[in-house]
């Protein structure tokens, strides 16, 4: 999977749009117990997520691969443009 967009949501959830139009929600909460993710407990730090395409990362150095996200996200649908094409 390649990540097209990532949008931080409340409660340490990321809304992810894949390049193929799939949309999912990824809960970062389980990762907050690890030292590298500790700073993300602060919402101001959590929202500083950036998209690397095949990974996402934060200023604190924490990162997650697109494969990890895809394996554990909750799919919620497809991009509207793609859905209309079907």
Q: What percent of the chain has pLDDT over 70?
A: 91
Q: Which pLDDT score, from 0 to 100, does residue 34 have?
A: 95
Average pLDDT, the chain: 91
The answer to whether residues 69 and 16 touch, using CB atoms and an 8 Å cutoff, is yes
The answer to whether residues 23 and 79 touch, using CB atoms and an 8 Å cutoff, is yes
Residues of the domain holding 52 = 3-85
Give 34-53 pLDDT, tens digit per residue. 999 999 999 999 999 999 99
Nearest to 58 by CA among 82, 83, 31, 85: 31
Give the number of domains in the chain. 1
pLDDT at 62 over 50: yes
């Amino acid at each position: 999977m390649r990540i097209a967009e990532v949008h931080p949501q409340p409660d340490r959830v990321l809304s992810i749009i894949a390049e193929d139009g799939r949309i999912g929600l990824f809960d970062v909460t389980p990762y907050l117990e690890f030292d590298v993710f500790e700073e993300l407990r602060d919402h101001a730090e959590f929202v500083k997520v950036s998209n690397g395409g095949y990974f996402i990362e934060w200023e604190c150095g924490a990162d997650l691969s697109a494969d990890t996200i895809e394996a554990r996200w909750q799919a919620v649908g497809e991009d509207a443009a793609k859905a209309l094409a079907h």
